[in-house]
Structure 1
Amino acid sequence: MVALKLQDVGARYGKTEVFDGITTDWLKGGELTALIGPNAAGKSTLFKRIAGLLKGSGVVQVEDVREGFRPICYMPQDTGANAVLTVYESILLSAKQGTGWRVAEHDLREIDRLLSALHISDLAFRDLGALSGGQRQLVAIAQALVRRPEVLLMDEPTSALDLFRQIEVLQFMKRLAAQDRIAVLIALHDLNHALRYCSNTMVIAGGELIASGPTLEVVTPELLRSVYRVDARIECCTLGRPLVIVDGTA
């Protein structure tokens, strides 16, 4: 089973250092890990550093990568979709990157499976430029998953989705992580989504890793006050799920 670990990881844009010294325990496949923090905390920068898109200090370790899988795939918040392609063509293009251009039957079956799983089969032959922001985000998820990553970094994948689609996507990703034993890191702003779907949570603020560990141990009233500047409680609803209840600003 795949495992990801950061050891004294830093990142910089040119000569400007964004953060330094971020270290985690092993993040193992099969689970969702939330990356939370205020705006401009460095969440996207950390994902880009893990994916190798930015330079910086430290070591990103990925172990036990299976044959036929790619170590790390990064799904940015802004997908920059090519409006000239259809949805199906864009997913096929993602699948073949770095593997040659010969298309096999199993490539097409996998695309069909993902379109069906994300409930976007009806969009298959629509141009990307004709889609809404939420539809493009679902296509971007398919583009990432078709690459068969061992570690998937998803930068706010639910930001353009309505509430129904947010829940649908997070439930799907939780099942997929458990089924395929991949490690999924998701940057989220909705803390209740993190509490409900993510086994582990990392908190980044001011260029530092403030906390990392089991979600219910990390997301506490004390953390919410210090990082988000709100007075809040963690309570269980009638279904036994924890919820963040905000009383006011701190």
Structure 2
Amino acid sequence: MVALALENLGARYGKVRIFEDISTDILRGGELTAVIGPNAAGKSTLFKRIAGLLKGEGVVHLSGTASDKAICYMPQDTGANAVLTVYESVLLAAKQGSTWKVDEDELKAIDRILKALSISDLAFRNLGELSGGQRQLVSIAQALVRNPEVLLMDEPTSALDLFRQVEVLHFMSDLAARSGMAVLIALHDLNHALRYCANTLVIADGRMAACGPTRDVITPDMLREVYRVDARIESCTLGRPMVIVDNAVN
């Protein structure tokens, strides 16, 4: 099974340091890992650094795979060509880096993914006709059709309504468990992190503030230090932990 670990990662844009010294224990396949932190903390930059799209200090350790294309990065904004249909865009993603010959198995895989994400009815609509949430679901399909072993998802639920957020996160959690895929997912909703993610990595002020099992990481002390809020972690009637924010801290 695939496993990922980060060792002293750093990244800069020109002379501006975005983050440094980010290290993790082994993040194993089959689980979701939340990447959280305030706005502009460097979450997107971290994903680009892990995916090899940005150079910097440190090492990304990847084991349990023989593929040099095991990591797939799903950005917030794909900048997809609006003249393509949804089906064409997903097919194009499937053929990235391979021959243009299309076989029946690939077409069946696209059909399965569109069905799983409940967007089969959008297959032959142009991307430019879609809402932001619909385009976000298409971006997820484009990532999944490439069969990654490590998937970096940069705020994949930000444009989705609550039903779709829960649907997508449940689907990704189940898919990771079944396939052994390691999924790192940038989230702003900390209750979603508590519900769906086994591990959580926190970035703040250009450094890693915490990393470990989600229930050990998302604590009142961390929320006060990183997010500047007074908050409690309470259990709902089903026994699940949830964040309740009382006040902002000036």
Q: TM-score, normalised by structure 1?
A: 0.98
Give CA-to-partner distance per residue, 1:135-184, whole Å, 9 cap, x none.
00000000000001010000000000000000000000000000000000
How many residues were matched structurally?
A: 249
Give CA-to-partner distance per residue, 1:78-101, whole Å, 9 cap, x none.
121210100000000000000111
Q: Which residue of 2 aligns with 1:186?
A: 185
What does 1:55-134 align with in structure 2 at a 5 Å threshold?
A: 55-65=55-65, 70-134=69-133
Paired AA for residue 29 in structure 1: G
Paired AA for residue 56 in structure 1: G
Task: Confirm or deny: 8 A CA contact 1:70 1:147 kept in the other structure.
Answer: no
1: CA distance, partners of 2:176 / 2:224: 31
Paired AA for residue 36 in structure 1: I
Paired AA for residue 30 in structure 2: G
1: CA distance, partners of 2:21 / 2:228: 25
Q: Which residue of 2 aligns with 1:18?
A: 18
Which secondary structure state, in structure 1, belongs to the residue aligned with residue 70 of structure 2?
strand
- How big is the shift at 1:18? 1.3
Unaligned residue ranges in structure 2 (runs of 5+)? none
Q: Which residue of 2 aligns with 1:216?
A: 215
Q: Which residue of 1 aligns with 2:33?
A: 33
- How big is the shift at 1:17? 2.1
- How big is the shift at 1:240? 1.1
Which secondary structure state, in structure 2, belongs to the residue aligned with residue 62 of structure 1?
strand
Q: TM-score, normalised by structure 2?
A: 0.98
Q: Which residue of 2 aligns with 1:50?
A: 50
CA RMSD of aligned residues (A): 1.0
1: CA distance, partners of 2:240 / 2:84: 42
Q: Which residue of 2 aligns with 1:199?
A: 198
2: CA distance, partners of 1:246 / 1:19: 27
Q: Which residue of 2 aligns with 1:171?
A: 170
Give CA-to-partner distance per residue, 1:219-242, whole Å, 9 cap, x none.
000000000010000000011111
Unaligned residue ranges in structure 1 (runs of 5+)? none
- How big is the shift at 1:66? 5.2
Q: Which residue of 1 aligns with 2:240?
A: 241
Which secondary structure state, in structure 1, belongs to the residue aligned with residue 208 of structure 2?
strand
Task: Confirm or deny: 8 A CA contact 1:13 1:54 kept in the other structure.
Answer: no
Task: Confirm or deny: 8 A CA contact 1:9 1:20 kept in the other structure.
Answer: yes
- How big is the shift at 1:9? 0.8
